[in-house]
Structure 1
């Protein structure tokens, strides 16, 4: 069998996911994925099963949406509540300030607005977070493309969860049974072009250092760059997660870290100016990305995964429902 590890980017493994999908080396992929989540919390997947044409189509529609006048985008407004992540958020509305505990530092961070805009949606029949769309007749085809891409991502998510379960020495469907709803979120992101000096001087930000809340995140990014991942062994040291053609980046979330009794890492990451950028006009290029956030079903209560605790390494956490955990985190962060 060929090695499923085909390289790395600044220590983040690149894994060929095809041998899991076609069954030729399921355990090899599963073990490689688990090691990556255990050691780094991030992994690049190639041959992941999400068709390139679908990714390209979603990016095209994302650009069409964000190119609309502000008064049009505001016809699908994100609610003021930090727990209802649906609809459109304008630049500077959201500000992430996680993993910072010094009051002066928090004030400094909150005074540097996140210059990004976003649109978020989920499944149409969600009773927890109903979708918020543009009115009928405005940007026809956008809603249908978003929903189609959401379900395409969900299909890939389940395959990734099966691989991760095997890597944890659980039955292949162990994690899938907790992700049946799906209570997930598709986010379209646009980072406008901004002065490079303001980013470097922390006068403004793209998105500050944070970890994700749920089980895992699948990230599609354009070629602009700017994503940085913290070294889990050296807090405060960030390295670029350079875009790789044809790949998606997958990272573990806080809920999965808790669920695994901290066996798996939910690693802090951020978006800044692309590395080594030299701009004649002093501006950083705009950036588009599409993260898909996977959460366990809100109705499910989870305890530490079998095999992640023992008499020598006891459970660190009480059982908790996914809804309770995620909503607590959302309300406290935004």
Structure 2
């Protein structure tokens, strides 16, 4: 899949723009050129988000009437569509196994969370961080991607061997720790809706991409970086209350029942 990603982003800009991200900010599909995505809304955080330098391509299920896929013409990159869709559904199987493990951890029936993720209303994103100067990152002129939280249930992340991913220390706000690539592994990242859903039992960590610890550079330039996040959301049509067992008389519910679709779509609009 990384090979397909590299081949897509190596296409001329004009070819990639044959599958453009729509002007509608709720249609989260197709190609996004560098600078199109807005800076994240960090709420009351004192951090000042930096301009993010990356390009991406978003894919969903083919039968999604709300957000149909936007593909480049077949002759541009033959086999690209089929490979993306096959990988999308493999990621969905991984997602379901993670949800089963979470449900057991909450003391629930194994399929409890899977039942809320039937559709699936998910987003597979190919991401490319072009080579940029080390100086521009160290002087906080830009970031490969600014610090942010994800917003659905969870994210399954594949990263190449370049590195640079950092996550905020949950015990020391403002301190970021490197998340180095581990061969043949994935990263599972809790997102904001899961935080609400679990009544803050599981937190969604702030994270971003900056300078890798062992960056191999040429002429002061950071190398290209590729990653593939799979953003997992509960079915848009459902309204969920906080997970049973995460609240009590001594620890009451912090959140009202919420529509998955309304919450996720609002976050999508805020990001573009």
- Name the structure 2 match of 1:157: 95
- Name the structure 2 match of 1:205: 143
Instruction: Check conservation: 2:129, 2:226, Cα contact below 8 A.
Output: yes
User: C-alpha displacement at 1:250, in angstroms?
Assistant: 0.4
Evaluate the alpha carbon distance shift between residue 214 and residue 102 of structure 1 in structure 2; reply closer, same or farther with a 3 A threshold: closer
Distance 1:216 1:92 in 2: 25
Which of 280, 302, 312 is matched with 2:250 structurally?
A: 312
TM-score by structure 1 length? Answer: 0.79
- Name the structure 2 match of 1:63: 6
User: C-alpha displacement at 1:278, in angstroms?
Assistant: 6.0
Deviations 1:30-68 (A, max 9, x none): xxxxxxxxxxxxxxxxxxxxxxxxxxxx11100110010
Number of residue pairs matched by the alignment: 272
Structure 1's unaligned 5+ residue stretches are 1-57
- Name the structure 2 match of 1:299: 237
Instruction: Check conservation: 1:195, 1:282, Cα contact below 8 A.
Output: yes
Which of 236, 244, 248 is matched with 2:182 structurally?
A: 244
Instruction: Check conservation: 1:217, 1:250, Cα contact below 8 A.
Output: yes
Runs of 4+ in structure 1 displaced over 6 angstroms?
none
Which of 23, 33, 36 is matched with 1:80 structurally?
A: 23
Deviations 1:255-293 (A, max 9, x none): 011000000111110011112536351000110000000
User: Higher helix share goes to which structure?
Assistant: 1
Distance 1:215 1:84 in 2: 19
Distance 2:24 2:167 in 1: 28
- Name the structure 1 match of 2:32: 89
Distance 1:85 1:126 in 2: 11
DSSP 3-state at the match of 1:217 = strand
Evaluate the alpha carbon distance shift between residue 145 and residue 91 of structure 1 in structure 2; reply closer, same or farther with a 3 A threshold: same
1:234 equivalent in alignment to 2:175: no
DSSP 3-state at the match of 1:318 = coil
Q: Which stretch has the larger CA shift, 222-231 or 268-277?
A: 268-277
TM-score by structure 2 length? Answer: 0.96
Which of 121, 127, 143 is matched with 2:81 structurally?
A: 143
Evaluate the alpha carbon distance shift between residue 102 and residue 170 of structure 1 in structure 2; reply closer, same or farther with a 3 A threshold: closer
- Name the structure 2 match of 1:125: 63
Which of 80, 99, 117 is matched with 2:42 structurally?
A: 99
Instruction: Check conservation: 1:212, 1:254, Cα contact below 8 A.
Output: yes
- Name the structure 2 match of 1:216: 154
Deviations 1:82-132 (A, max 9, x none): 3221000111211332325479x65xx4xx531101000100010121110
Evaluate the alpha carbon distance shift between residue 85 and residue 158 of structure 1 in structure 2; reply closer, same or farther with a 3 A threshold: same
